[in-house]
Amino acid sequence: MATKGDRTPGRVAYVGARLLDPATGMDQIGGVLTEGELIKQVGPKVNADMALEGITVIDCSGLCLAPGLIDMRVHLGEPGEDYKETLASAGRAATKGGITSMICLPNTDPVIDDMSVVEFVARRARLQGLSKVYPYGAVTKGLKGKEIAELGLLAESGAVAFTDGFNAVANAQVMRRAMMYARTFDLLICQHPEEPSLSTGGMMNAGETATRLGLVGIPRQAEIIMIERDIRLVELTGGRLHIAHVSTAEAVDAVRKAKARGLPVTCDTSPPYFALNEVAIGDYRTFAKLSPPLREEADRRAVVEGIKDGTIDCIASDHTPQDEESKRLPFGVAASGGVGLETLLAVTLELYHNGHVSILEALNFITAAPADLFKLRAGKLAQGRPADLMLFDPDKGWKVEADKLLSKSKNTPFDGRLVQGAVARTVIDGRTVFVAD
């Protein structure tokens, strides 16, 4: 059940929970006291006795209580493609998934390359009263890759970082200028790593599976070349670079080496790239057509190793809603992308359930790490921080069923998958916005 909740929350004590805070390493039994929009107290002293002080007490019954999730790459259809997703439908899906903050891509209509659009998105999100929305600004005007947008002014208006979204900044000189400009203001440039001259017309990962299916392949070098080029531009400019959704073994290794040299390079991946491989396409299953494409099993394992050794900094849902008319087409002409707001927690927890990382490490990729990267006051259970909380059962099993998702579009690559990890309650600024049935 989703609800906007009380807009003027009082004092609420969430007691009897397993407190999990990746930012501090906290893993203990206790509770969280919220007052208004902020966290007032955290720890074992927050207990049921607080009811005697007139505080509303919510018994967490031993479930895990953690900071609300931060999804650092979400495509919202609003404005421009409301038929695929809206701020309201994305907000409902996000709160069901325990996501209290979303960072939205600039691929809207109009593009988020102007201060007025940044302010429009922020204002519309506040009116919904659901997950908080922070916009990326476009690196180039109109996402055309030619002229740098007004990065400084966009940052002043609320843009937390800069990307051309699904489009790579292909021109090296333009990317160089963007990095130099961004460095002046200590801004972060996020790149979709795909050399377009190698990927244009491609439908899936190049290799034996593509050949067997008769589909045009996208060589993995399209990702690797772009990442290696941009790392060289970081050396040249000193600008901060974040690489989105790494999916190949060589890409992970390139970032690993760049970090070893002390370069300001970070990266993320998305659940499909550590939980699926190109076999998921099966017989032309368009829900598994993504950008970048699903890779070979060796790449999937390399991404897992990059998560384990800290090369990969964050995990993002890469939420890309596509309507039925865009997906239920022959594979070659179907749109790329999958929804991921409601599956981000459960699929990320597979890393924990499979023994690759601890539960705190798994949560860190979707809470404290993106909060630090984007300098958000979120992702931490601490006094004075926003009361953005997620209560969840890490072991509760459920089956992903596309038709039951709250996202307006249903194109999940995980349709039919059995997962573990379910959200029981989501709290934003002290307001309960979702309670599981």
Active site residue 318: yes
3-state class (DSSP) for residue 245:
coil
Contacts of 127 (CB under 8 A, 6+ apart): none
Cβ–Cβ < 8 Å for 341, 407 = yes
Q: Which of 138, 132, 76, 128 lies closest to 104 in space, CA to CA? A: 76
Three-state secondary structure call for residue 294: coil
Neighbours of 328 (CB within 10 A): 12
Q: What angle do CA 273, 396, 324 make, to 5 degrees?
A: 50
Alpha-carbon span 188 to 241, nearest angstrom:
6
Asked if residue 383 lies in contact with residue 41, where contact means CB atoms within 8 angstroms, the answer is yes
Helix (H) or strand (E) holding 146: none
Tell me if residue 128 falls in helix, strand or coil. helix
| Local structure of residue 293 (DSSP, 8 states) | P
Judge if the upstream peptide bond of residue 135 is cis by omega within 30 degrees of 0: no
Helices (H), 187-284: 196-199, 208-213, 221-237, 249-260, 271-275
CB-based contacts of 316, cutoff 8 Å, min separation 6: 71, 72, 73, 74, 244, 245, 268, 269, 270, 370
Q: Are 136 and 105 in contact (CB under 8 A)?
A: yes
Angle, helices 297-308 vs 249-260, to 10°: value is 30
For 63, the enclosing helix (H) or strand (E) is none
Tokens 């207990």 sit on residue: 47
> 113, 164, 230, 318: which one is catalytic?
318
Omega of the bond leading into 330 within 30 degrees of 0 (cis): no
Active site residues: 318
